[in-house]
Amino acid sequence: MDDTLILGGETLSSRLILGSGKFADTATMIAAVKASGTGLVTVALRRFNPDQPTDDLMGPLMAIPGLKLMPNTSGARDAKEAVKAAYIARELCGSRFIKVEIHPNPHHLLPDPIETYEACRILAADDFIVMPYMPADPVLAKRLEEVGVASVMPLGAAIGTGHGMATREMIEIIIRDSHVPVIVDAGLRAPSEAAAAIEMGCAAVLVNSAVAASDHPVGMAEAFKEAVAAGWKAWCSGLMPTSETAVATSPLTSFLGS
């Protein structure tokens, strides 16, 4: 029951990856990150605005011992833009992790399989630890594995919907076939769903809205931490088999007959 997760040679102590968006303020985000026990936090690039200096995000995050950053390429509409974003992000924070996220449609924010594949191919060849946000597409997962991604991150549902693991059927096939860790990214709403993902064989989950948009992000971060730990213990302990018919747990001897 070793809880260690290795991604691209980097060892993570938690199977929970946390996004840093949508929090009310940086202090809450940092508190939630700490409460979650995560070792990997996603961040996004944006243009620096000299007139509206906002909180420094990287400083407090990097002050958390053992925490690694995983920049994403959000905003990129094609492979070329994503690759550019990846290099900028690496320059910015020095992390080899890159979450490739190419979603041309702002309405559903779903990933483009063609551009994602192309960007991953390029970045994996230049020493990035490539983590693609991708449709729950088993063949695409395999092709991404072949070009050297460190994990595949199929979506459970569209970002921010909280519809859970709506793509479960396909994720099961991805897990069965994959030689790299499978991480459910996007769609999860409840800690129970994170536990279910791990129970079915996912190596980790990535959540953001589920924590940031809850009533109490710090408490919710803790709930996810425990749920992921529970899911991992369950996976290691082997769930009972299901049965089409009932199976008694108590003796049924008619000991009370008249």
Partner 1 sequence: MAVHISLNDKNHDLPDGATVARLLAGFSPQPKGIAVVVNGGIVPKAAYETTKLTDGDQVEVLTFAGGG
- x/- map, 18-47, a copy of itself, by CB under 8 A: -x-xx---------------------xxxx
How far is it, in rounded angstroms, from Cα 5 to Cα 229? 12
Calpha distance 133→183 (Å, rounded): 9
Q: How far is the CB of 65 from a copy of itself (least distance, A)?
A: 24
Quickly count: other Cβ atoms within 10 Å of residue 229's Cβ.
17
- Catalytic residue of the set 22, 34, 68, 99: 99
Q: Is 80 a catalytic residue?
A: no
Per CB under 8 A, the list member of 10, 34, 44, 147 interacting with partner 1 is: 44
Structure tokens at 142: 């395999």
| Contact of residue 29 among partner 1, a copy of itself, none (CB under 5-8 Å per partner type) | partner 1
Cα gap 217→28, rounded to integer Å = 7
> Is residue 217 packed enough to be buried (19+ CB in 10 Å), middle (13-18) or exposed (0-12)?
buried
Buried/exposed 30-58: b ≥16 CB within 10 Å, e otherwise: bebbebbbbbbbbbbbeeeeeeeeeeebe
Name which position in 38, 151, 167, 178 contacts a copy of itself (CB under 8 A). 167
Q: Does 52 bind partner 1 (CB under 8 A)?
A: no
Binding to partner 1 by residue 59, rule CB under 8 A? yes
Provide, rounded to whole angstroms, the least separation between the CB of residue 9 and a copy of itself: 26
- Backbone torsions φ then ψ of 99, nearest 5 degrees: -90, 110
Q: Judged by CB under 8 A, which stretch of 1-9, 89-97, 113-121, 136-144 contacts partner 1?
A: 89-97
Instruction: Determine, following the binding rule CB under 8 A, whether residue 202 of this chain makes contact with partner 1.
Output: no
Subset of 227-246 contacting partner 1 (CB under 8 A): none
Interface residue with partner 1 among 1, 4, 52, 56 (CB under 8 A) is 56
Q: Does 94 bind partner 1 (CB under 8 A)?
A: no
Contact 176, 154 (CB under 8 A): no
Cα gap 40→249, rounded to integer Å? 43
Output 60 or 113, the one with its CB closest to a copy of itself: 113
The distance from CA 194 to its chain's CA centroid, rounded to whole angstroms, is 10
Catalytic residue numbers read 99
The residues that touch partner 1, with contacts defined as CB under 8 A, are 19-23, 26, 29, 42-50, 53-54, 56-59, 69, 71-72, 74, 84, 87-89, 91-93, 159, 186, 206, 208-209, 249-251, 255, 257-258
